[in-house]
Amino acid sequence: MSLWEFVGYLLWGALIVSYLLALLHVLRDLFRSSLSGWMKAVWVVLLFILPLVSLLIWLIVGGFADKTAEDARYAGAPAADGSKSPAQQIADAQALVDAGTISGEEFLRLKGLALK
């Protein structure tokens, strides 16, 4: 085996591993999405019939558009029900501690509630 054959095998191996990781990422996103069961089944079939085309379509069009309310909440955005994010709740509690309205123990309790 020559050096160039070895480099070629390494490149093909890296390409295959990259494809498999992207496929696993798309399948994880697909099953966490809010699509119906039938649409999920159609996407899975497409991923195995037309792998590269459907993989690229999902990554370009649908990959990051479907965030759940929990993901948005942990990103610092307000929750869908209008409540404050954990970071905002902790900042409000810290402001109360700074103002002398609540004690340190009460702050820790509020912080624990916000992080649940």
Q: What is the pLDDT of residues 10-55, one digit of tens each?
A: 999 999 999 999 889 888 888 888 788 888 898 889 888 998 888 8
pLDDT at 75: 56
pLDDT in tens, 78-94: 555 557 788 888 888 88
User: For residue 100, what is the DSSP state?
Assistant: T
Q: How far is CA 64 from CA 15, 25, 37, 54, 61, in A?
A: 23, 11, 19, 15, 8
| pLDDT value for 14 | 96
Distance (Å, whole) CA 90 – CA 105: 13
How crowded is residue 73: how many other Cβ atoms within 10 Å of its Cβ? 19
pLDDT at 111 over 90: no
Q: Measured between alpha carbons, how far is residue 83 from residues 43, 69, 73, 86, 88 in Å? A: 34, 12, 9, 9, 10
